[in-house]
Structure 1
Amino acid sequence: MKKKVLWKDSLQAITGSLGRFIAIFLLVMLGTFTLIGLKSSGPDMRQTAIEFYKKHSLADITVTSNYGLDNKDIHTIKTQKNIKRVDFGYYQDAKVKKSRTSLRVFSQTKNVSTYELIKGKRPTNKNEIAISYLLKNRYHIGQEITLENGQTLKSREFKVVGFVKSSEYMDKSNIGQTNIGTGQLDGIAITDKSAFKGNYTIARIIYNTTYNLNPYAKRYNELIDKYQDNLNKELNKNRKTKYQKYKANVEQAESQISQAKDQVNKLAQVSPEQAKVLQKEIDQKSKNVDKQKLLLDQTGYPKYTVNTRDSNPGYTIYRSNSERVDILSNVFPTILFAIAALVSLTTMTRFVDEERINIGTLKALGYSDIDVCQKFIMYSLISSGLGVVIGSSLGYLILPKIVFEAYAANSTLTNMTVLFSWKYLAIAVIIAIASTTLAALWVLKNNLKESPAQLLLPKPPKKGSKILLEKISPLWKRMNFTYKVTARNIFRYKSRMLMTIFGVAGCTGLLVMGLGIKDSLSGISQIQYTDIIKYDLVTLQHSNLTSRQKNNLDTELNKNKIKQYLDIHYENLTKKAGTDNAEQDISLIVPSSSKALTKFVKLENRQTGKKYTVTSDSVIISEKLATLLHAKKGSKIKLKDDNGKWHKLKVTGVTEMYIVMGKNAYKKAIKNNYRTNGQLVTLKENNKRDIQKLSENLMDTGALTTVLQNSNNQKTINNILGGLNKVIVILILIATILAIVVIYNLTNINVLERIRELSTIKVLGFFDKEVTMYIYRETILLSAIGILVGYIIGIWLHEFIITSLPPTNAMFDPSLRIGNFIISTLIPSIITIILAIIMHRKIKSVDMLESLKSVE
């Protein structure tokens, strides 16, 4: 019978204080949901990628060369240590006839960097082709297409037989650059190896020692860096022989033509007709030799490109996105769960205090201490247990999926892998039990020491005492009775005061951080590609242009649609930097005219507003790079060029974008004579259609290797920021829900704890509104203090997050807007006002006389 009474009493405790029960459940659920959800998101994203890479045996390293890969190169690659698998294949950039679509056509692979068949079938002969599934809205199975500019392709006519997904191209919008069409690739395609001719053009390598390693682990990157350096050194030994071989072939062809011309002269005297026929053949061969000579001049010295997975479009961005979630997961859940745990602790403490007389009754009836504890253990375990179960379920299954879909919107990865982590579930359970069950038992321990007779009496109210404010006589004397009571009560209940301030401050801080990040994201690409970068295109030229190519380019650059252009030297440099030691791609610009550069790029220090003038000795680096390298004015930094050579630069200034150097500084650092190899181009109308058309016209001049369009970079950044923006919106919603629960719970505790005090002043003649304001004035004041403290917390969190979240090719605006603070103030303020109305109705409905008689 005793046990039955205890169980009934325990269940009635839940139904009798359902609001408190739900509040604890929601607090624990929100904390668990955010902790497990965010902590799981990054690992889930990476595991999804790892399984995709494993399934398709993504190459650790790829090797290409501007001269192709001959037998000596193949031997060099095959004799490298620890190679598990190597695949030699072909690729060729080609344009689909009567369209602007440019494709990178690969030969099929068997067991390295394989392709996933989405629809149709794989190519089985030299006239069949499978196209990227991203282009299925442009083409259909069975369609015949003609490819242009495909010098190494045996055939031009292909039949589309399927659609595939590449394991090497994970970014939907950033496929890469090309030397045909508009300078931008639209997609990839695969065909049979028999469709190609000539030397292999790409090698894909998988190593034994890295095959079973986590590709995001430090050990993997260390090994791959080592293999990359070794392979680069070995292949570079072949450069001289390869160049001499191609040069000798051209010289031999020239010699044969010279000999043939002598034969024509002799034959002309004997048989003029035969001499004419032979001369035509010689003329054709001469044209071919001239083309080979031009190609040799413009291609330059043989160069090998040994790329790791970091050069895979989308690979680095996806990894960085998952690591940004890790950064958020280290900050947001910690603060949110701390608030939830502390408010839960306060709630359970108050619950035990309310049950004081019932505890005394049970003890008087002979129940043991364990029996008395049952109600509180059951109450806390059920409420917090439900919170953990539902919060962790949603955290494992829902939040990571939302985060994945937000970030993977521009990635080809699908079907997220869900990992289960006992570690974070255990942390959530421990925090939940500690802040509810253990908190209740700790308070119970003191109560159980008292005798039943003492427990049957209400707990005496805290004694009032003088507060610091009273010592400030001029101020204290001018305060009316109501405000004096409010001030005394605030300091009288110090624990509740601190809990209210901390709870509201934590919620406000999270709102300031979330809204601040959202503000920092908005319009970044617009600012970057309108205010700072004022050009639309960068053209990159072949070396040793023919007079015809140069004239064609000049004609196109001086057409009516182009507003202005500036000759520059453009070069890509790299440097591994940052916490993840990722390879940073750095664009170097050396203008032909420093004065004219101001029309194309705004060079200004963001923090000081100082405008820079590029002199011959200037080395102005981007703020992003300066942060990653811990550099400032006067610092020396080392950057690597495409040939693997390191160059030391002395920084003369820090601006928002790019590295800009003067001619003299370039000569000293790069050890090359200054030579322009491109232009910054600004259009009169920079709409997408005009940019595409102009890019195509410029590429048709034959003078360019590629055209870089700002719109592509802008699109990539927008996609990254769009994903991050969605995640931040979710976090803002969570912070808002937490604010509602926290403010409601603390206000409810305050009212219930002092219901006899409120009853007394109502009996003394106070009106309902005055009674409500008697207690709610404290809540408003403490909430206001909490909001102000929240500003400080939010500013600190925002500054910390904003330096860690941006992608490598962008920098967030670190400033906080006034609107952010207004909204962060309005949300808890509105919640407080709405709850005041609810509490007013609750206070009105309480029978004050019954409350005063409740302890008799």
Structure 2
Amino acid sequence: MVRGALWKKTIRDMKQSKSQFVSILIMATLAVSIVTGLDSIWFTIQNHADAMYRSTSLSDLWVTVANPSEQQLWGIKQIDGVTRVEQRYCADADTDLPGNPTLRVYALDDRSTLDQPDVQEGSFEKYGGGAVLDENFAESNGLKIGDVVSIKLNGAWVRVPITGLGLSSEQIFAVKNSASLMPDSKSFGFLVVHAGTLESVYGRKVYNQISVRLASGTDVPQVERQADAVIGKELIGIVSQKDSGSVNSVDSRIQQFRTLGIVFPLLFFIVTALITQSTMVRLVENQRSQIGILKALGYSRRSILWHYTSYGVVIGLCGSLLGLAMGPNVFGRILVPRVKLTFSDYRISVNFLHFFLAMALILICTGGVSFYACRKLQGDTPAVLLRDRPPKKGNHIFLESLPSLWRKLKFSSKLIARNTMKNKGRLMMSTVGVMGCTGAILAALTIRSMISGITVQMYGTTFNYDQKILVDQTKTDTRYLANQELNGIVQQTEESNLELICPNGRRKMEPLTITSKNSPLIHLQDVSGNPVSIPENGIAVSRKLTETLGVKPGDSIQIKRTDQKYVTVPVTQVFYLASGQGIFMSDAYWKSLGETFKPTALLVKWNGVPNEKFLSSDAVEESVTRESQRSGLSGSTQVVNIAVAMMIVMGAALAFVVLYNTSILNFTERIRDLATLRVLGFYHGEIRNLVLIENYFSVFPGMIFGIPVGRSISWIVAKNLDSRLDLFGTITPQNVLIAGILTLFFAWIINRAVAKKMKNLDILSALKSVE
């Protein structure tokens, strides 16, 4: 009976203060939805990727060496931490399909267990001539099980029957070459065959990679050093699992949303906690007479404490559950399919650990604050609680110490100044709330601007060609390409992955671009925009890569020469690239190291129309325009842009709720004072300004203090968003203006809503509220 009465009172109290409770509910929902939503993205990617890595037995290392010998296999097998060693063949092959798409062919030994295809349909028998084709490639090119695909390797064509369709853990993010920035299943896929299938091409089983599985906790750099010693000068390169293209892309996506999922929810929780704390304390303190009545009627201390704690607990639980329902479904279902990663399905995974932590924080902000506020009043007797709280002792404010200024103020301005100073705590909480919301909006706008600016920096400033043409190295050389006399500015480049040893001993494969020193179509710059020339004796390294490698100008690194040992080269220049970190070297310096400059691509700025005869010749493997690359780069960052746009909407919604909550609270606390002024003859417009102008006192300081908050958040996100992106979270006047206009717009709307409530003020009921 007692519990039923208190529960009815809870429902009645919530109805009476529904605007405050609804605002707290919305804030709790927004905070939890951002946590669960952003977490669901990276958590889903990580779970699906890890499941695929396990099901396909993805290798930990790939050692590239032409025709590995049994002695080399045995030598790597003896390295501490190595549990399994297998050999395979990996190469790109042309096809006879319309559009001449390319397939990356993996030829596995009959006894292999590593790097297996994840068969979705059909089968891949241990022995036989069948093959597993990329499921997405098959769908895009109209192929099915039972069809035959022809591939060209070593100048010969071989027909391979398709016995299965599947996925590969090495092709979760599949791009063909340096001209491709986004996956395109129509033009590129993979094919897994048996090693015996290629005997008709090479006359024997051929391999060019050693797949290595390591025990858990093994020192990977140490294994790489020992494998290098085993292979010797025949070593082409060693790639660890985390440095492979697909795995690195997956990890980058995870890192992007992990960063967003830490920074933005933290700010939302801080704002929610502060505003909820001030709101719940006032709601409970306004019930002091009700607490006195309950104590006088004999309700126990525990019952009263739980009754008022339940206010916050109910709202906190409802907000948490709504956030759990909204976050993964809004963020996860919209963004996960847009990350351009290939999984067997896209079922959303919820990180329940982080959800329960978020729910616990919300309950502390709501239920915990309610408990604390009620507990403070439990020490008073019913007689004390039934009387109004004695008014605070009046103090002169600072403006009153300036008589010349104070006397010039209107009576209404004096009331506003005194009331503002009287409620400094509320003013501070409101200011902090607006500061956090403005900072969140400004940070999201800044992140969106710097993500959009990547394409401008890459394909507006650094690369100035019209077309990038990939050439067949077996059919071309420097002299052949120079003799084509293409109508335009032409720059020859050689692009490859270079194995290097950092000063700390770590081995990595990094992109290397070799080109002419004058570089007419690639204009490198430092972070300040000053031109950076490709050095004559040394290498130029991108700024973000120097941080990754732990080097600076003047340091030296070791690079692997073709079929030989390592040579030491100095780092003489550092340049800035927003995306696609790497190393640049002049062709003359490359030749001085004993290497041969073999162009893999031509960069062309045409004087008129492109040379279609050359573009359609056998010497050209593929060509791509700068505009298509710009579009591809924009597409690769689109999902982050969408996520940030959603953050802007969430931040705006939080700003709206915070301003509404503080404005309504200010109005309800002063409702009797306002009614008294109406009785004394003050006009409605005069009374309205007493509240509405005061509301702006928290808006303007909050906007100003929100600028450094937004700047700090954007710098944190820029630094940790992606290891391949070099971004600066520099705020712009335009974004500051947009964030400020949004905040002022919300304040204006809310003031209109409060003004409407004031116009409909019931004076008699307000003055009798003391009873």
TM bracket (short chain): 0.7 to 0.9
**Structure 1 equivalent of residue 175 of structure 2:** 173
For residues 185 and 143 of structure 1, the distance between their equivalents in structure 2, rounded to whole angstroms, comes to 21
Deviation per CA, 1:795-841: give whole Å up to 9, x if none. Answer: 11112211221451x43354333331222112222221111121112
C-alpha deviation, 1:116, in angstroms: 2.4
Answering whether residue 268 of structure 2 is matched by residue 336 of structure 1, we say yes
For residues 90 and 576 of structure 2, the distance between their equivalents in structure 1, rounded to whole angstroms, comes to 39
Residue of 453, 478, 481 corresponding to 2:383: 453
Deviation per CA, 1:685-735: give whole Å up to 9, x if none. Answer: 699x969985663635xxx9x989867865664343112112212222221
**Structure 2 equivalent of residue 32 of structure 1:** 32
C-alpha deviation, 1:499, in angstroms: 0.6
Paired residue secondary structure (1:415): coil
C-alpha deviation, 1:512, in angstroms: 0.5
**Structure 2 equivalent of residue 566 of structure 1:** 491
C-alpha deviation, 1:339, in angstroms: 0.8
TM-score norm. by structure 1 comes to 0.78
For residues 259 and 631 of structure 2, the distance between their equivalents in structure 1, rounded to whole angstroms, comes to 24
Letter paired with 1:371: S
Answering whether residue 432 of structure 2 is matched by residue 512 of structure 1, we say no
Letter paired with 2:555: K
C-alpha deviation, 1:13, in angstroms: 1.6
C-alpha deviation, 1:493, in angstroms: 0.3
Answering whether residue 768 of structure 2 is matched by residue 837 of structure 1, we say no
For residues 768 and 443 of structure 2, the distance between their equivalents in structure 1, rounded to whole angstroms, comes to 48
**Structure 1 equivalent of residue 247 of structure 2:** 315
For residues 7 and 730 of structure 2, the distance between their equivalents in structure 1, rounded to whole angstroms, comes to 57
Answering whether residue 554 of structure 2 is matched by residue 622 of structure 1, we say no
**Pairs within 5 Å for 1:140-539:** 140-141=143-144, 147=150, 149-151=152-154, 156-174=158-176, 186-197=188-199, 198-207=204-213, 209-210=215-216, 219=217, 223-236=219-232, 302-395=234-327, 399-407=331-339, 409-412=340-343, 414-416=345-347, 418=349, 420-422=351-353, 424-473=354-403, 475-535=405-465, 536-537=467-468
C-alpha deviation, 1:650, in angstroms: 4.2
Letter paired with 1:826: I
C-alpha deviation, 1:466, in angstroms: 2.3
**Structure 1 equivalent of residue 512 of structure 2:** 587
Verify the 8 A CA contact 2:534 2:573 in the aligned structure 1.
no
Letter paired with 2:89: Y
For residues 631 and 226 of structure 1, the distance between their equivalents in structure 2, rounded to whole angstroms, comes to 20
**Structure 1 equivalent of residue 183 of structure 2:** none
Paired residue secondary structure (1:522): helix
For residues 683 and 568 of structure 1, the distance between their equivalents in structure 2, rounded to whole angstroms, comes to 11
Verify the 8 A CA contact 1:32 1:392 in the aligned structure 2.
yes
Answering whether residue 638 of structure 2 is matched by residue 726 of structure 1, we say no
Letter paired with 1:68: N
**Pairs within 5 Å for 1:102-113:** 102-108=102-108, 111-113=113-115
Deviation per CA, 1:726-756: give whole Å up to 9, x if none. Answer: 2212222221221122111111111111111
**Pairs within 5 Å for 1:31-70:** 31-39=31-39, 41-65=41-65, 67-70=66-69
Deviation per CA, 1:392-438: give whole Å up to 9, x if none. Answer: 3544666445453343x24446434625444x344334322322223
For residues 46 and 39 of structure 1, the distance between their equivalents in structure 2, rounded to whole angstroms, comes to 10
Q: Which shifted more, 323-332 or 503-512? A: 323-332
Verify the 8 A CA contact 1:35 1:337 in the aligned structure 2.
no
Q: 1:811 to 1:743 in 2, by over 3 A?
A: same
Q: Unpaired runs of 5+ in structure 2?
A: 181-185
Deviation per CA, 1:740-776: give whole Å up to 9, x if none. Answer: 2211111111111111111122222233333222111
Verify the 8 A CA contact 1:509 1:793 in the aligned structure 2.
yes
**Structure 2 equivalent of residue 827 of structure 1:** 742
TM-score norm. by structure 2 comes to 0.86
C-alpha deviation, 1:513, in angstroms: 0.5
For residues 572 and 89 of structure 1, the distance between their equivalents in structure 2, rounded to whole angstroms, comes to 20
**Structure 1 equivalent of residue 531 of structure 2:** 611
Deviation per CA, 1:479-511: give whole Å up to 9, x if none. Answer: 333223222222210110001000010011000
For residues 394 and 164 of structure 1, the distance between their equivalents in structure 2, rounded to whole angstroms, comes to 33
**Structure 1 equivalent of residue 555 of structure 2:** 636
**Structure 2 equivalent of residue 600 of structure 1:** 521
Answering whether residue 598 of structure 2 is matched by residue 677 of structure 1, we say yes
Q: 1:649 to 1:540 in 2, by over 3 A?
A: farther
C-alpha deviation, 1:80, in angstroms: 4.7
Answering whether residue 716 of structure 2 is matched by residue 784 of structure 1, we say no
Verify the 8 A CA contact 1:620 1:655 in the aligned structure 2.
no
Q: 1:577 to 1:315 in 2, by over 3 A?
A: farther
Verify the 8 A CA contact 1:566 1:681 in the aligned structure 2.
yes
Q: Which shifted more, 433-442 or 398-407? A: 398-407
Verify the 8 A CA contact 1:125 1:195 in the aligned structure 2.
no
Paired residue secondary structure (1:200): coil
**Structure 2 equivalent of residue 753 of structure 1:** 669
Paired residue secondary structure (1:651): strand
C-alpha deviation, 1:194, in angstroms: 2.8
Q: 1:472 to 1:833 in 2, by over 3 A?
A: same
C-alpha deviation, 1:385, in angstroms: 1.7
Letter paired with 1:150: L
Verify the 8 A CA contact 1:637 1:648 in the aligned structure 2.
yes
Letter paired with 1:207: R
Letter paired with 2:349: V
Verify the 8 A CA contact 1:520 1:813 in the aligned structure 2.
yes
Verify the 8 A CA contact 2:493 2:513 in the aligned structure 1.
no
For residues 87 and 534 of structure 2, the distance between their equivalents in structure 1, rounded to whole angstroms, comes to 47
For residues 693 and 813 of structure 1, the distance between their equivalents in structure 2, rounded to whole angstroms, comes to 43
Q: 1:574 to 1:722 in 2, by over 3 A?
A: farther
Q: 1:461 to 1:727 in 2, by over 3 A?
A: same
Q: 1:68 to 1:472 in 2, by over 3 A?
A: farther
**Structure 1 equivalent of residue 619 of structure 2:** 699
Letter paired with 1:601: I
Deviation per CA, 1:310-350: give whole Å up to 9, x if none. Answer: 35332101112212222222221111111111111111111
Letter paired with 1:356: R
Larger radius of gyration: 1
C-alpha deviation, 1:517, in angstroms: 0.3
For residues 323 and 759 of structure 1, the distance between their equivalents in structure 2, rounded to whole angstroms, comes to 56
**Structure 2 equivalent of residue 267 of structure 1:** none
Paired residue secondary structure (1:537): strand
Verify the 8 A CA contact 1:90 1:193 in the aligned structure 2.
yes
For residues 27 and 462 of structure 1, the distance between their equivalents in structure 2, rounded to whole angstroms, comes to 31
Answering whether residue 473 of structure 2 is matched by residue 553 of structure 1, we say no
For residues 642 and 311 of structure 1, the distance between their equivalents in structure 2, rounded to whole angstroms, comes to 20
Letter paired with 2:657: V
Q: Which shifted more, 496-505 or 760-769? A: 760-769
Q: 1:175 to 1:204 in 2, by over 3 A?
A: farther
For residues 341 and 829 of structure 1, the distance between their equivalents in structure 2, rounded to whole angstroms, comes to 23
Verify the 8 A CA contact 1:147 1:157 in the aligned structure 2.
yes
Verify the 8 A CA contact 1:538 1:678 in the aligned structure 2.
no
Verify the 8 A CA contact 2:490 2:605 in the aligned structure 1.
no
Verify the 8 A CA contact 1:769 1:840 in the aligned structure 2.
no
C-alpha deviation, 1:234, in angstroms: 0.6
C-alpha deviation, 1:451, in angstroms: 2.9
Q: Unpaired runs of 5+ in structure 1?
A: 179-183, 211-218, 240-301
For residues 815 and 694 of structure 1, the distance between their equivalents in structure 2, rounded to whole angstroms, comes to 44
For residues 538 and 231 of structure 2, the distance between their equivalents in structure 1, rounded to whole angstroms, comes to 36
Answering whether residue 667 of structure 2 is matched by residue 740 of structure 1, we say no
Paired residue secondary structure (2:522): coil
Letter paired with 1:492: K
Answering whether residue 93 of structure 2 is matched by residue 94 of structure 1, we say yes
For residues 695 and 735 of structure 2, the distance between their equivalents in structure 1, rounded to whole angstroms, comes to 23
Verify the 8 A CA contact 1:524 1:813 in the aligned structure 2.
no
